[in-house]
A and B are shown apart, each in its own frame.
Chain A
Amino acid sequence: MSAVDYTKELPVLEGKHSLRELDDLIAKPLEIKPDKKFYIALSITLSMLGLGIFGLGLTFYYGIGMWGNNNPVGWAFDIINFVFWVGIGHAGTLISAILFLFRQKWRTGIARFAEGMTIFAVMTAALFPLIHVGRPWLAGYLFPYPNQHSIWVHFSSPLLWDVFAVGTYFTVSLIFWYVGLIPDFATMRERTSHKIKKITYSIFSLGWRFSNRHWQHYEMVYLILAGFATPLVLSVHTIVSFDFAVSIMPGWHTTIFPPYFVAGAVFSGFAMVQNVLIVIRKVFNYEQIITIDTLDKMNKIMLVTGSMVGYAYMMEFFIAWYSGVEAERFTFFNRALGPYAWAYWIMVTCNVVSPQLFWFKKIRRTIPVMFVIAVFVNIGMWFERFVIVVTSLSRDFLPSSWAYYKPTLVDGAILIGSFGFFFTWILLFTKALPVVSMAEAKAVVDGAQPSHKDH
């Protein structure tokens, strides 16, 4: 790799593509019949989903007792998975909204896909608050609706804030995603000769005719929505962190939680996007759209957020010691040295140590290595939530009520099922919609924008 000229912006796409070529490349997966590999992948994810549905069936039939939750540890995999998936859902909107506002062109190749992942991850996450309740058939009580008893929800409960925060985030993300898709729907409409496809694309393209007016309105709406979505990126995980921070449990009741959760969410979200995109670019031959340079940048973000998370871990310990609150101190000692020390050290190794390898440019640009590191990051971030939820609860104020938590097979089945659910959507997404924004990609090919370099 030759020395990079930092005075110049790196090209977003590699190679010289004609606009037509780009359209062909991006639309290709939608225009050919799914191959065997697709069906194999789909059968795997559906099997995982089936396993999860089986676990859920057992849970609905017998009760939460099918899980490992016990008396001090009222929440475990249910809430861990919820926070984990909401976290995964963070990268998409960050990439598409915040990076858009900051004019980061390199987001072009990955934004659409990341947004899709956001939607699916939030859908996966939203399952958990519903299934974690003991009487899911009454989960409607969590929504404020007028009823003959005049019973209102309890607005001071962070769990209720979650309902609103996640609901809003999902809605805005979905609209943002859809608006971005409109020009591509129109492109697809023009390309296809299949009757049903044509009708479908026509409906969803909302009469888009690539007119200048359309583009003007589109750009404005997209900008406004990006502005809308930006605070949500920060608010969702802030509010999720309130589930813990608003409580009085040592280890939960800390003011560092909102920024720490947001950083962690971006961290894990990027790791998941990077993992999936590495596969996608290989399978769909998008190496020149989702370039090594893009991956390199994502890895840098992981390095930053990973370091932030590591700093938060240290800060938690420092504040626990500095506060002088005995219970708080013990909780943190207990995390590192107690019965769940194994989980804590998995977390530290995966989240703090492994991303530090991204200081090396070579590692940032070597696909197998970065893939493995990102997998580690996701494992680590899952364990971060495990450490927060389980270790704090299992040893709280009164030693008499302490108990060790052990998950059951049903817990595992539901965790696997959540991955199955997520990846099933991802797979269907790759075959139903262009995974890279054609319109935006075309806007960043060499020469698409006015340039001053040769003058």
Chain B
Amino acid sequence: MNTPSNSSNKKELWKSLQDYNNDPEAIKFKHNEFLEGVTEDFEPSHLSGISRRKFLALLSASAAFTATACTDYRDKGEVIPYNKRPEEVLPGVANYYASTCSGCEQACGILIKTREGRPIKVDGNPDHPINKGKICAKGQASILNLYDPERLREPMASGKQISWKRADENIIAALNEAQNNGEEIAIVTGAITSPTTKKVLDDFAAKYQNTKIYSHTLINDEQRRNGWLESYGTVEYPSIKFDEANIILALDADFLGNEGSYIENMRKFASKREVVGKADFNRLYVAEGRMSATGMMADYRLKIPPNVQYEFVIALANELIKNGSAVALDANVKSIIEKYSLSMIESAGKEKIAHLVRDLNDNRGKAIVYAGDTLPKEVHIAVNLLNEILGNTALYDYSTSFKSLIKQSTYEEISQLVDSMKNGKVGVLVHFDSNPVYSLPEDFGYAAALKKVKTIASLVEAENESSVLGNFTLPVNHSFESWGDAYARGGIYSLQQPVIAPIFNTRQKEAVLLTWISGDADSYKEDLYHNYLMNNFDAVVYSKKNVLSDAKTFWYSALHDGVVLMDEKAETKKFNLSILSNIKEFRHKSGYVVHLNESFFVGDGKFANNGWLQEMPHPVSKVTWDNYAAISPKLAKQFDVGMNDFIEVSVDGKNLTLPVLVQPGVHDATVNIELGYGRTVAGEIGKGVGFNAVSLMSKGYSFSPFIYEGASIKKNGGTHKLASTQEHHSLDDTFVKDFHRIRKIIQESTVEKYRKEPNFLNEEKEKVKEKLVSITQEHEYTGVKWAMAIDLNKCTSCGACVTSCNVENNIPVVGKDQVERGREMQWMRLDRYYSGTPDDPIVSNQPMLCQHCDNAPCENVCPVNATNHSADGLNQMVYNRCVGTRYCSNNCPYKVRRYNFFNFRDHFADAYYENDLTSLVHNPEVTVRSRGVMEKCTFCVQRIMEARSNATRDGKILNGNDVITACQQTCPTSAITFGDMNDPESPVAKLRNHNLSYHVLEELNVKPNVTYIAKLRNIHSEEIL
């Protein structure tokens, strides 16, 4: 095609004639892409400054924002897989480390279960000869203190954060200054059970020679030790072979409750309450003014106030020497003894005393008289004498005597310290994990004297009453983050190892002292105390053990076992008879007696900030979150007060107003109050819980630090609601009297009857069984079928099982207000029933948990199938199917189902336990339940599944005995048995067929799978009153 010649500048392609002709109009038109009228609206200057790109960016950003804001995805932190897996950590598999419990001075051996590096459970160390794999409620729950959000995280100086280095420098300077000025350096510590800690303290005292070390704990066994010292010349008293005693007389001694080595005592006691075999029972007499856990277990209980105990013991001795004495008594001693006669305490029950005298007489050398820690040393001396007279010293076990590394300071020594402080003679004062402001009687004036001390350093885990008055508050490791050792009992050296790196900027308390000893703040290293401990171990333990292995190997094996048994010479001591003459006529004063005792679960106040322990129902009163004045019904009537009413208790001009708990069985002249409550600086949980009974204590006590005669009581207007998990019925309310017997909830008899008619229960059981007809075909369980048996003869109601269950199954703390409303969440409860008279009640205890009924009434009423039955006989809960109609709970005759009325973790104390730290305590194998969901005991299904998968892995058939539930594992008396009832050889199947076995509410035909073994009381009768 020819291009037009006249237009060289013409285009080859043209749109129009104008275009072809290069019409200027067309050129202009082409330059303006948009026509006028189109562009004027798009004039960029009229538009906003946002560019297209920016607009898109903003759009996408806001879309992203909206999407993020609307999602409920929570940032759960970074989850990083192990780059290089630590050799011993296998995700999903728990590791166990042996250690030593530092909950109290008994230093039980523990196994700490960790998952992926975090401790989640504490169990007893089976290799430890004292607690043999068992651990108490306090030990169980102590894990919550590790994850307490209020633990101190950084060193503080006068309320401001400070670096460890600065703090150390300041304190070292102050120590040197005090040393140079000749001022005293005082270390106030609690009880020390660690020989290496003692060595650190000694080293400290050697470096700073003006150092004086004071030891003080609110609850202590000083009276016993002093009594022993005067009787036998040593403060190290032997343990008692309760497992060999036929007759036990406990004098205001809660040896099965919370006194002394109670885990060991319970085990030994229960070994003589075994119904499998010939039912060779011991007989327990308890003479007490209060109602203790031991008192609940008594076969015979004599109401004797604590200030009459001395007279009672000597009168018993007077009665018993008529039949001779194992020690030669001189005329002097006899003349003292003869002043006392049993006739003066006849009111406690003539018949019971006659039985007691006869039993003690008949079982010389096979009986033991045991006095409580709160009783004055004179009573202990008298008891020592009585045991000597009866030859009961055969039951003393000197090989595992109670050691004393640092003796408690006497009140005189503490008075001197306070005087020095007041006079400005104390330059530096160190609270070495102690809280003297709370634990010392107020009349020492310790808190006021603190103001005169220039430098006060408190080595504590959390702020307490003492640390807030000092200038340096130095956070120390929780015991699970610490190295340590213990030598609390003769021949038993146990080790403590850290199972988690310090969560916060805390240090081992001994390492802090070692830094100060070195005098150089930079000398601190993380393994400072670790090395010190190993060196001391080599010197104290390894060198004494003749082992072939080298020191390192021995150390590691000791660490693995947690305990090293030493050969300790058991030295039998001789009783110093002349001491009795030193005791002047010891007669009680009439009037009311105030008896102060250790709190059951918060101890000396140490566990005040532990919600699990605060919420444990008291074994006797079932009260949570409080202490109270327990008085007898008669006394309450006399002062016209009832449950929850305030009374004012006064002794020697000191007053305490607290609510009343009318406690059947308490002596009419006693007011019984627990110590350890009323903390003012103890964190959100513990602050202001209960009433501080230390305020009744006095440094110038005339009887015992814990017992005050001549008290007066006054009704004080107002009430304070005690939150109890069980209703308090008046015992003489005939309307509801003895229901547990009428309804056969508790089956009891006596040893005598059982010996005569071992099958007395069976006839009745057969009768009931005949009547029970199922109209549908029963399901057959051919494989493993889970069942539990609980021996009521052994249960002391100590609550270890409940706490163990709490920890294992992630049970939330609900708070006092919710307990008051009856919404506690514990899956297990310990039911307590009274029969008899309010004056002299008979107590029956019963652990109650889901009975996993074959014909479970809860299952058929659930509209959504959220609770159903497994093939191995478990009554299961499907949490994510549950809509929360609560129908199952209504239809449960045992009322063991627990409902999440709130999201309790969020609801309790402003979500105190809902934080990243505390959630580390949860067992990852157990769902954390939220609001609106029903829950209950699962028979520890996670443990069953673990055992099942282990069996599958090993190619074995699942053996029912391989599953140990949390409650069973920790029960100090092994009252709980669990296993496969279809295996006729299993212990649980044997107990199910035992002639003392029964089911609660058998007549409902729900076919429970928890069997109870009827309780036998070892009394001189075939009938219980």
Q: Enumerate chain A interface residues (CB-CB to B < 8 A).
A: 62-65, 68-75, 132-136, 138-139, 141-142, 151-154, 156-160, 163, 243, 246-249, 326-327, 330, 333-334, 337-338, 393, 396-404
Q: Among B742, B832, B862, B891, find the residue whose CB has the most chain A CB atoms closer than 10 A.
A: B891
Query: Once bound together, how far apart are the Cα atoms of A356 and B621, in whole Å?
Result: 49
| Any A CB within 8 A of the CB of B889 | yes
Q: Among B739, B898, B931, B1001, find the residue whose CB has the most chain A CB atoms closer than 10 A.
A: B739
Known: A70-B821, A249-B891. A154 touches B862 (CB 8 A): yes
> Can you spell out 14 A-B residue pairs with CB atoms less than 8 angstroms apart?
A63-B903, A70-B822, A74-B889, A138-B883, A159-B863, A159-B885, A160-B863, A246-B861, A247-B890, A333-B735, A396-B893, A397-B894, A398-B848, A400-B740
Known: A248-B891, A396-B895. A151 touches B885 (CB 8 A): no
Q: Which chain A positions have C-beta within 8 A of B887?
A: 74-75, 157, 159, 243
Known: A134-B886, A398-B848. A141 touches B881 (CB 8 A): yes
Contacting pair A403 B822 (CB below 8 A): yes
Q: Which chain A positions have C-beta within 8 A of B889?
A: 71, 74
Q: Among A72, A135, A404, find the residue whose CB has the most chain B CB atoms closer than 10 A.
A: A135
Query: Once bound together, how far apart are the Cα atoms of A64 and B821, in whole Å?
Result: 13
Query: Once bound together, how far apart are the Cα atoms of A73 and B891, in whole Å?
Result: 10
Q: Which chain B positions have C-beta within 8 A of A404?
A: 727
Contacting pair B933 A141 (CB below 8 A): no
Contacting pair A63 B862 (CB below 8 A): no
CB distance from A431 to the nearest CB of B (A): 37
Q: Among A70, A158, A249, A401, find the residue whose CB has the most chain B CB atoms closer than 10 A.
A: A401
Q: Which chain A positions have C-beta within 8 A of B821?
A: 65, 68, 70
Q: Which chain A positions have C-beta within 8 A of B818?
A: 65
Among candidates A152, A159, A163, A326, residue contacting B742 with C-beta atoms closer than 8 Å: A326
Among candidates B831, B832, B861, B895, residue contacting A247 with C-beta atoms closer than 8 Å: B861
| Any A CB within 8 A of the CB of B987 | no
Among candidates A133, A152, A338, residue contacting B885 with C-beta atoms closer than 8 Å: A133
Q: Enumerate chain B interface residues (CB-CB to A < 8 A).
A: 726-727, 729, 735-736, 739-740, 742-743, 745, 818, 821-824, 829, 831-833, 846, 848, 857, 860-865, 881-887, 889-891, 893-895, 898-903, 907, 931-934, 1000-1001, 1004, 1006
Among candidates A65, A68, A151, A326, residue contacting B865 with C-beta atoms closer than 8 Å: A151
Contacting pair B884 A400 (CB below 8 A): no
Query: Once bound together, how far apart are the Cα atoms of A136 and B1001, in whole Å?
Result: 34
Q: Among A139, A141, A160, A393, find the residue whose CB has the most chain B CB atoms closer than 10 A.
A: A141
Contacting pair B860 A157 (CB below 8 A): yes
Q: Which chain A positions have C-beta within 8 A of B742?
A: 326
Q: Which chain B positions have C-beta within 8 A of A71?
A: 822-824, 889, 895, 898-899
Q: Which chain A positions have C-beta within 8 A of B863?
A: 141-142, 153-154, 157, 159-160, 163
10 new A-B contacts, CB < 8 A, other than A134-B932, A151-B881, A399-B727, are A70-B822, A71-B889, A75-B886, A134-B885, A135-B931, A154-B860, A243-B887, A396-B895, A400-B740, A402-B727
Give A74's nearest chain B residue, CB to CB: B886
Contacting pair B865 A152 (CB below 8 A): yes
Give B830's nearest chain A residue, CB to CB: A400
Give B903's nearest chain A residue, CB to CB: A63
Query: Once bound together, how far apart are the Cα atoms of A402 and B735, in whole Å?
Result: 14
Query: Once bound together, how far apart are the Cα atoms of A355 and B1004, in whole Å?
Result: 39
Query: Once bound together, how far apart are the Cα atoms of A249 and B886, in whole Å?
Result: 14
Query: Once bound together, how far apart are the Cα atoms of A278 and B831, in whole Å?
Result: 55
Among candidates B743, B883, B1006, residue contacting A134 with C-beta atoms closer than 8 Å: B883
Q: Which chain B positions have C-beta within 8 A of A157?
A: 860-863, 887
CB distance from A390 to the nearest CB of B (A): 11
Q: Among A133, A136, A333, find the residue whose CB has the most chain B CB atoms closer than 10 A.
A: A133
Q: Which chain B positions have C-beta within 8 A of A399?
A: 727, 729, 736, 739-740, 745, 833
CB distance from A240 to the nearest CB of B (A): 13
Known: A74-B890, A247-B891, A399-B739. A135 touches B932 (CB 8 A): yes
Contacting pair A141 B862 (CB below 8 A): no
CB distance from A46 to the nearest CB of B (A): 29
Q: Which chain B positions have C-beta within 8 A of A334?
A: 735
Query: Once bound together, how far apart are the Cα atoms of A134 and B736, in whole Å?
Result: 33
Give B867's nearest chain A residue, CB to CB: A154
Contacting pair A69 B901 (CB below 8 A): yes
Q: Which chain A positions have C-beta within 8 A of B890?
A: 74-75, 247, 249, 393
Give A71's nearest chain B residue, CB to CB: B822
Give B865's nearest chain A residue, CB to CB: A154
Known: A69-B901, A399-B729, A402-B727. A153 touches B886 (CB 8 A): no
CB distance from A90 to the nearest CB of B (A): 23
Contacting pair A158 B901 (CB below 8 A): no
CB distance from B813 to the nearest CB of A (A): 14
CB distance from B1012 to the nearest CB of A (A): 13
Contacting pair A74 B893 (CB below 8 A): no
Query: Once bound together, how far apart are the Cα atoms of A248 and B887, in whole Å?
Result: 11
Known: A142-B883, A397-B893. A74 touches B899 (CB 8 A): yes
Contacting pair B893 A398 (CB below 8 A): yes
Contacting pair A72 B727 (CB below 8 A): no
Q: Which chain A positions have C-beta within 8 A of B822?
A: 70-73, 403
Q: Which chain A positions have C-beta within 8 A of B1000?
A: 398
Q: Which chain A positions have C-beta within 8 A of B934?
A: 134
Known: A157-B863, A402-B727. A64 touches B891 (CB 8 A): no
Contacting pair A133 B831 (CB below 8 A): no
Query: Once bound together, how far apart are the Cα atoms of A152 and B602, in whole Å?
Result: 48
Contacting pair A133 B861 (CB below 8 A): no
Contacting pair A72 B895 (CB below 8 A): yes
Closest 7 CB pairs of A and B: A134-B884, A134-B932, A65-B901, A74-B886, A70-B822, A400-B831, A401-B895
Among candidates A142, A153, A397, A400, residue contacting B1001 with C-beta atoms closer than 8 Å: A397
Query: Once bound together, how far apart are the Cα atoms of A399 and B903, in whole Å?
Result: 28
Q: Which chain A positions have C-beta within 8 A of B831?
A: 398, 400-401
CB distance from B1008 to the nearest CB of A (A): 12
Q: Which chain A positions have C-beta within 8 A of B736?
A: 399
Q: Among B823, B863, B934, find the residue whose CB has the most chain A CB atoms closer than 10 A.
A: B863
Contacting pair B886 A69 (CB below 8 A): yes
Contacting pair B894 A398 (CB below 8 A): yes
Q: Which chain A positions have C-beta within 8 A of B932?
A: 63-64, 133-135
Q: Which chain B positions have C-beta within 8 A of A62?
A: 902, 907, 931
Give B814's nearest chain A residue, CB to CB: A65
Query: Once bound together, how far apart are the Cα atoms of A65 and B863, in whole Å?
Result: 21
Give A140's nearest chain B residue, CB to CB: B883
Q: Which chain A positions have C-beta within 8 A of B903?
A: 63
Q: Which chain A positions have C-beta within 8 A of B865?
A: 151-154
Q: Which chain A positions have C-beta within 8 A of B886?
A: 64, 69, 74-75, 132, 134
Query: Once bound together, how far apart are the Cα atoms of A72 and B823, in whole Å?
Result: 9
Contacting pair A158 B861 (CB below 8 A): yes
CB distance from A142 to the nearest CB of B (A): 5
Q: Which chain A positions have C-beta within 8 A of B882?
A: 134-135
Query: Once bound together, how far apart are the Cα atoms of A401 and B520, in whole Å?
Result: 61
Query: Once bound together, how far apart are the Cα atoms of A401 and B739, in whole Å?
Result: 12
Q: Which chain B positions have C-beta within 8 A of A70?
A: 821-823
CB distance from A70 to the nearest CB of B (A): 3
Contacting pair A64 B901 (CB below 8 A): yes
Known: A154-B864, A247-B861. A398 touches B745 (CB 8 A): yes
Query: Once bound together, how far apart are the Cα atoms of A246 and B857, in whole Å?
Result: 10
CB distance from A208 to the nearest CB of B (A): 42
CB distance from B774 to the nearest CB of A (A): 14
Among candidates A73, A141, A158, residue contacting B864 with C-beta atoms closer than 8 Å: A141
Query: Once bound together, how far apart are the Cα atoms of A324 and B903, in whole Å?
Result: 43
Give A76's nearest chain B residue, CB to CB: B886
Q: Which chain B positions have C-beta within 8 A of A156?
A: 860-861
Q: Which chain A positions have C-beta within 8 A of B885?
A: 132-134, 159
Query: Once bound together, how far apart are the Cα atoms of A75 and B899, in whole Å?
Result: 12
Query: Once bound together, how far apart are the Cα atoms of A133 and B745, in whole Å?
Result: 32
Query: Once bound together, how far apart are the Cα atoms of A334 and B886, in whole Å?
Result: 23
Contacting pair A400 B901 (CB below 8 A): no
CB distance from A317 to the nearest CB of B (A): 16
